[in-house]
A and B are shown apart, each in its own frame.
Chain A
Amino acid sequence: MLVIAMQVSLVLITIAMLGFIYRLIKGPTVPDRIVALDAIGINLVAMIAVLSMLFRTYVFLDVILLLGILSFIGTTAFSKFLEKGEIIENDRNH
């Protein structure tokens, strides 16, 4: 029963990711695409969690936290590039 529920949720997460990929390709502005990428990362986290339950293993749990952190850093870097034009400033106070 639980296995069927996990398989159904995997299919639903895949459909959600396809929707985000549509927004990633079609999105008229760059911020649309950034938000779509961020949401794809979070969906990937959900998919890895369901898969690690399906495979009955603990070893993927580190990957979940890793993907969350990487998605945050990547989205922050993209946003800063859009706002200021440079990602890492040399000296902010002048």
Chain B
Amino acid sequence: MKTNDVILQTTSKVVFFIIILFAIHLFFAGHYHPGGGFVGGLMTSGALVLLLLAFDIKTVAKGFPIDYKILIGIGLLFAIGTAAGALVFNVPFFTHVFGDVYLPIFGETSLHTAMLFDLGVYLVVIGVTMTIIQTIGESE
């Protein structure tokens, strides 16, 4: 019997963007407020899991053609790159720099290289969570 999930699918399409925006907010707020890469990544994969619940694995894979195992590698590369970049400037491993930069649209913005490390954590958390869930879901 073919079930009809119009309400679930429509609600998921709307709620997905709210969760993604909340995850981005958590990720960028991590320096001054509670949040950070770990919770942001978990929330993003929560949004993807909601889409997996409402639709199926093939539809979501068509919408987001991402190999999540490669995402883990990119995240680890970000982390090691941020840490090793300090060696180029003849300072110890994992030395971070920060400062206020004037950007065209945002104006006076405080930037920190720890955010790039956090981006690595974010990508690794998404990759690991989605790999685990998809591997379990695909088994017949």
Contact = CB atoms under 8 A, between A and B. Distances in A.
B59 interface: yes
B53 A84 contact: no
B50 interface: yes
A77 B49 CA distance: 9
Interface size class of B (residues with CB under 8 A): 20 to 34
Interface stretch (B71-79, B87-95, B108-116, B132-140): B132-140
Contact of A73 (B29, B46, B55, B134): B46
Interface in A58-76: 59, 62, 65-66, 69-70, 72-73, 76
A66 B39 CA distance: 10
Contacts of B34: 59, 62
B9 to A, nearest CB: 10
A66 B36 CA distance: 14
Nearest to A76: B53
B26 A62 contact: yes
A92 B19 contact: no
B138 A90 contact: yes
Contact of B3 (A65, A69, A70, A84): A84
Interface residues of A, number: 19
Main secondary structure of the interface of A (DSSP, over half): helix
A90 B15 contact: no
Interface of B: 3, 8, 15, 19, 22, 26, 29, 33-35, 39, 43, 46, 49-50, 52-59, 133-134, 136-138, 140
Interface of A: 59, 62, 65-66, 69-70, 72-73, 76-77, 80, 83-84, 87-92
20 contacts: A62-B26, A62-B33, A62-B34, A69-B15, A69-B19, A69-B22, A70-B46, A73-B49, A76-B8, A76-B54, A77-B53, A80-B53, A83-B3, A87-B53, A87-B137, A88-B57, A88-B136, A90-B57, A90-B58, A90-B137
